[in-house]
Chains A and B, each alone.
Chain A
Amino acid sequence: MVKENLCVQSVARISHRRPQQEAGEICGVSFGSRGEVVMNDLQWIQSAKNGDEDAYAKLVRRHSGGLHRTVARILADDTEAWDVVQMAFLKAWQKLDRYNPRYSFTTWLYRIGTNLAIDLLRSRTSRERAHKAGTEHRLRLVGTGEGAGARADSNETDNVLQQLVGVLTPQQRSAFVLREMEGLETAEVAEVLGCSATTVRNHIFQARKALRRELRVRFPEYLPASERG
Chain B
Amino acid sequence: MNCGIFREMIGPYVDETLEEGRRHWFRTHLRGCPTCRESALREEPSLLFAMAPAAPGEPEEIEACAVAVMGRIRQDRLERRLHRRRRPWLAVAAAATLVISGGIAWLTMVGGGSGPLQPAVEARREAELQNSPPTVEVEMAGEEVRVYQFANEADMDTAVYFIVDPALEL
In this assembly, does A11 line the interface, its C-beta being within 8 Å of a C-beta of chain B?
no
Which of B39-47, B95-103, B119-127, B138-146 binds A? Answer: B39-47
Complex interface: chain B residues within 8 A of A183 (CB): 24, 27
Complex interface: chain A residues within 8 A of B49 (CB): 157, 160-161, 176, 180-181, 211
Which of A36-44, A65-73, A121-129 binds B? Answer: A65-73
In this assembly, does A185 line the interface, its C-beta being within 8 Å of a C-beta of chain B?
yes
Nearest chain A residue, comparing its CB with the CB of B54: A5
Contacts between the two chains (Cβ within 8 Å), count: 135
Interface of B is mostly: helix
In the complex, the answer to whether B72 meets A90 with C-beta atoms within 8 Å is: yes
- Tell me the bound Cα distance from A53 to B70 in angstroms: 8
Interface of A is mostly: helix
With A4-B54, A61-B62, A157-B52 already in contact, the answer to whether A150 and B69 are too (CB < 8 A) is no
- Tell me the bound Cα distance from A217 to B68 in angstroms: 42
In the complex, the answer to whether B34 meets A223 with C-beta atoms within 8 Å is: no
In the complex, the answer to whether B76 meets A208 with C-beta atoms within 8 Å is: no
Which of A12-20, A81-89, A100-108 binds B? Answer: A81-89
B24, B38, B52, B54: which has the most chain A beta carbons within 10 Å?
Answer: B52
- Tell me the bound Cα distance from A157 to B37 in angstroms: 14
Which listed residue (B20, B38, B55, B66) contacts A154, Cβ 8 A? B55
In this assembly, does A149 line the interface, its C-beta being within 8 Å of a C-beta of chain B?
yes
- Tell me the bound Cα distance from A196 to B118 in angstroms: 67
Chain A interface, number of residues (Cβ within 8 angstroms): 53
- Tell me the bound Cα distance from A224 to B27 in angstroms: 19
- Distance (whole angstroms) from the CB of B26 to the closest CB of chain A: 11
In the complex, the answer to whether A226 meets B42 with C-beta atoms within 8 Å is: yes
Residues 96-116 of chain B: 1 if any A CB is under 8 Å from the residue's CB, otherwise 0? 000000000000000000000
Complex interface: chain A residues within 8 A of B57 (CB): 64-66, 68-69
In the complex, the answer to whether B61 meets A4 with C-beta atoms within 8 Å is: no
- Distance (whole angstroms) from the CB of A29 to the closest CB of chain B: 24
With A186-B16, A205-B16 already in contact, the answer to whether A161 and B46 are too (CB < 8 A) is no
Nearest chain B residue, comparing its CB with the CB of A201: B16
**Closest CB pairs A-B (n = 5):** A65-B57, A5-B54, A154-B53, A181-B52, A224-B42
Residues of chain A at the chain B interface (Cβ within 8 Å): 2, 4-5, 8-9, 53, 56-57, 60-61, 64-66, 68-69, 73, 82, 85-86, 89-90, 93-94, 146-147, 149-150, 152-154, 157-158, 160-161, 176, 180-181, 183, 185-186, 201, 204-205, 208, 211-212, 215-216, 222-224, 226-227
